[in-house]
A and B are shown apart, each in its own frame.
Chain A
Amino acid sequence: MLQVGLNHFLFVSAILFSLGLFAVITRKNAILVLMGVELILNAANINFVAFAKYGTGGLHGQVVSLFVIVLAAAEAAIALAIVLNIYKLFTNVNVDEIDNLKE
C-alpha cells in the first residue's frame, strides 16, 4: 500500500483538483479564484505526467503538460488583465459582489 504507484499520484492530483475547485467556488477574491484554476490545471498536469510514466502514452503526456503550462500562463495573463479592469470599474475584485448581470 505504501509502495508508491500510479494511484498515489492520481490521488494527489484528485485532491489538488478538488482543492482547486473549492477555491474557485468559495474564495471571494478573484485572484484567489484564479489560483484555484491554476491548481486544477496542475492537477491535470500531474495526471498527464503520471500516465506518461506508468501508462502506454509515453512522452506524449509530457508534451501535453508542457503545452498546458504555457497555456496556463497565457490564461493567467488575460484573466489578470480582466481582473485589473474589474478593479478599475468596481474598485474591488470580489467575484460574488459582481452580479449585476442576472435575472
Chain B
Amino acid sequence: MSESLIVTLSLIILFLPLTGFTLTILLGKKVPKIYYTELLFISLAMILSVVIAFFKLGTYADKTIISSFNWINMGFISQGLNKYIELGIQIDNLTVIMLVMVNIISMLVHFYSIEYMHGDKKYTRYFAYLGIFTFSMLGIVLTHNILMMYIFWELVGLSSYLLIGFWYEKPSAADASKKAFLVNRVGDVGMFLGILMLFMTYGTFTFDDIYHQISMGVIPFNSGFWLTVTGILLFMGAVGKSAQFPLHVWLPDAMEGPTPVSALIHAATMVAAGVYLLIRIFVMLTADAMLVIAVIGAFTSFLAATIALTQNDIKKVLAYSTVSQLGYMVMAIGVGAYAFAFFHLITHAFFKACLFLGSGSVIHAMHHEQDIQNMGGLRKKLPFTYFTFLIASLTISGIPLTAGFLSKDGLLAGTLAFGSLTGHWLIPAAGFGVALLTAFYMFRLVILTFHGKPRDEDRFEHAHESPKLMVIPLVVLAVLSLFFWYTPNPLGADQGWFLSKWVVTPQTVTPEFTRWNFMQLEHAPKAGEHVIHSNMYMEAIHHAHYPAMILSLIMAGLGIFTAFLFYQWKKVNTDKLAAAIKPLYLFSFNKWYIDEFYNGVIVKALLVLTRVFAWFDTKVVDGIVNGVATLVRWVSIGGKYFDTYVVDGFVNFTAFISGLFGIILRKAQTGKVQTYIVFVVFSIIILLILL
C-alpha cells in the first residue's frame, strides 16, 4: 500500500460520514430508512481505518505522511509574496490510532443507537448528527495544521451543540447545549488568539513549519515568555473542549443529550480532542506552560473526583469521572508523560465509552431512570451489561490485566518522576489521591447499581437485558479495554508495541532556556533513533515505575475495598458517615445545592460555605459563568439604555435644539408690521456696529 493510497483512503474515511450526513439530512424526510447509508458509511470508514492502521503501523511506522494543497490565497504578507493557507492531512502513528479509535467507537455507538433511539421522532436526524460529528472529529484527527484543527474544533462544537440539545423540548437540554457551546467558545477564543500569535510569528498554520521555525529559534516577540503565553492560549482551547477547570462546568450538564451521544462525544472522542491538541503542540510547550497545564490537569482531576463521590445520577458520576480522567491526561502532558497521556486517551476512550453505553443500557432497562439510589441488584437482570460495566470499572480503577492499569500506571509514574525532578510533589499526590477516589466512586456506582437488593421493585421487575445490538458494542468495548491490544506484558507497557513502536515521544523544539533542564538532551539524536528525554528523566521514570505501580495498585485496591465496605457489606453506615462529615459530603453533593441556590435560598448556601470545594465549584466557577452572563446582560441592558437615551438622545437633542431655534424664530414673526420695522432698524444698527 503506497503512501498516496493511504492518503486517499484517509480522505475517503474523512468524507464518508459527511456524505452520510448530507444524504440523511436532505433525504431524511422522504426516505426514512436513509440512515442505513450512514450506518453503512461509518462501518466502511471503520474498516478502512483499520486497514490503514494496519499498513501504516506495519509498513511506515517511522514515517509521517503529509499531503496538502493550497486552499486560500491570503494576499501579501511580506516582501510581496502571496501567502497561502494550506489544507492538508498528516498521517502519523497517532493519527491512525486515533482514526481507528474514533471510528470504532463511532460505529459501535451508531449500532447501539439503532436500538437505544428507537422510536424517537427525529430518528434520522440523530444519525445525521452523528455523521457530522464523526466527520468533524476525524478532521481534527487528520489535520496537519492548527487552523484546520480550529475549524473542525468548532464543527465538533456544533455537533455537540446539536446533539446535547437533541431533545430541545426539554428546557434543560436546550440550556445545556447552549451552555456547552458558549463555554467552549470562551476556550476557543483563547485558542484562536494563540493561533493568531502563531501565524503572526511564523506566517503559517502548519505544525511542522511552525516547529521547524521554533527549533530555528524563532519565537514570538523573541521572548520565551510569549512562547509560554502562546502555549497557554492554545491550551485554553483544550481547557474548554476537554472540560478542564475552570471551564469544566458544561460537561456534566451535557449529559442531557442521549446517552450514546454522551458515550461518543462527551466521554470518548470529542472531549479527548483537547488532549489530542496538547499532544500535537507538545513539542512547543515551554516548561512554564507545562507546569500550568500540569497544575490545571491535576486540580481538575481532583476536583471532579471529589464531586463524583456523592453523585447519584449514574450519568453524572460518569461525567465527573470523565472530567477527572481528562484532568489526568492533561496532567500527564504537563509532566511530560506524552506517550502515557496518549495511551490513556485511547484506553479511556474505550472503557469510558463502555461505561456510558453500559449506563445507557441500564437507563434503557430502567425506563429512563438515572438515579442509582433507585437501582440495585441489576446484576441478575442485566448480566452482560453488568459484566462489561465491571470490566470497564476495573479498567478505570487501574487493576492489572486491563489497559487502564497500564496507562494509568505509566501516567502516575510520569508524575512521580516529575515530582522527584522538580519538587512539585503535589501533582503526584493529587494523581494518587484521585486514583483512590476513582476506584471508590466507580465501585460505589457498580455496587449501588448492580449489587444488593433492588430498591425500586417496580422498575426492577420490568427491567430486562438490552437487545443484542446494544449488548454487542458493550462487549466489544470491554474487550478493547483489556491489556493485550497494547502490550504482551500485563504489568508494563513500556516494551509493548504501542509505546515502543507506535507512540514515540518527540523531541521538544523550544529554545533551551525555556525547557525543563531534565528535558535537555545530552546528545543530538541520531537518525532513526527515538531519543525522548534526557538520561536524567529516563532514570527518574525508571525509578518511579515500580513505586508508582505499587502505590497506584494500593490506592485502587483501597478504593475498591472501601467501596465494598461502605456499600456492599455496609460495614459503615454511609448515612452516618455522611452526617459525620456533613460539610465534606454536602460539598461533593453540590448538585442539589445549585438548585437551592437558584431558588433563592442563599442562606442555606451560606451555611455550607465552609465546604470550600462545593462553594468553589458552584459559586465561583459555575457562578462566574452565570455571573458573567448576568453581568453581560446587565451591561447589555445598560448598553441598550445608553443607546436609546444617550446616543440616540444626542441626535434627538440636536433635533430638539433645531426645533427650539425654529420656535424662537417664530416668536419674532409677530405678524405686526411695525415690530418688523423695529427689527429692521435694530439690525441696521447691529450691522453698523459689526462693520
Contacts and interface: CB of A to CB of B under 8 A. Distances in A.
A24 B674 contact: yes
A24 B672 CA distance: 12
B675 to A, nearest CB: 8
B673 interface: yes
A4 interface: no
A95 interface: yes
Interface string A88-103: 0000000110111111
Contacts of B669: 102-103
B286 to A, nearest CB: 78
Interface in B639-681: 666-667, 669-674, 677-678, 681
A101 B677 contact: no
18 contacts: A21-B681, A24-B674, A24-B677, A25-B674, A25-B678, A25-B681, A95-B672, A95-B674, A96-B672, A96-B674, A98-B673, A99-B670, A99-B672, A100-B671, A101-B671, A102-B671, A102-B672, A103-B671
A95 B677 CA distance: 12
Interface of A: 21, 24-26, 33, 95-96, 98-103
A42 B669 CA distance: 30
A79 to B, nearest CB: 12
B659 to A, nearest CB: 13
A90 B673 CA distance: 16
Contacts of A21: 677, 681
Interface string B449-488: 0000000000000000000000000000000000000000
Interface residues of B, number: 11
B671 A25 contact: no
Contacts of A95: 672-674
Contacts of B677: 21, 24-25
Among B670, B674, B677: residue with most chain A CB under 10 A: B674
Q: What's the dominant secondary structure at chain B's contact region?
A: helix
Nearest to A24: B677
The 5 closest A-B pairs by CB, nearest first: A102-B671, A99-B671, A103-B666, A103-B669, A99-B672
Nearest to B669: A103
Given A26-B674, A99-B670, A99-B671, 15 more contacts: A21-B677, A24-B674, A24-B677, A25-B674, A25-B678, A25-B681, A95-B672, A95-B673, A95-B674, A96-B674, A100-B671, A102-B670, A103-B666, A103-B669, A103-B671
Nearest to B676: A25
Contacts of B671: 99-103
A98 B674 CA distance: 11
A72 B490 CA distance: 130
Contacts of A100: 671
A31 to B, nearest CB: 14
A96 B673 CA distance: 7
Contacts of A96: 672, 674
B537 to A, nearest CB: 93
B242 to A, nearest CB: 74
Nearest to B671: A102
B184 to A, nearest CB: 64
A26 B678 CA distance: 10
Nearest to B663: A103
Interface in B344-358: none
B207 to A, nearest CB: 77
Interface string B574-609: 000000000000000000000000000000000000
A21 B681 CA distance: 9
A95 B674 CA distance: 8
Nearest to A28: B674
Contacts of A101: 671
Contacts of B672: 95-96, 99, 102
A84 B666 CA distance: 30
A24 B678 CA distance: 9
Contacts of B666: 103
Interface string B673-691: 1100110010000000000
A96 B671 CA distance: 8
Contacts of B667: 103
A98 B671 CA distance: 8
B664 to A, nearest CB: 11
A95 B666 CA distance: 20
A90 B674 CA distance: 18
Among A21, A95, A102: residue with most chain B CB under 10 A: A102
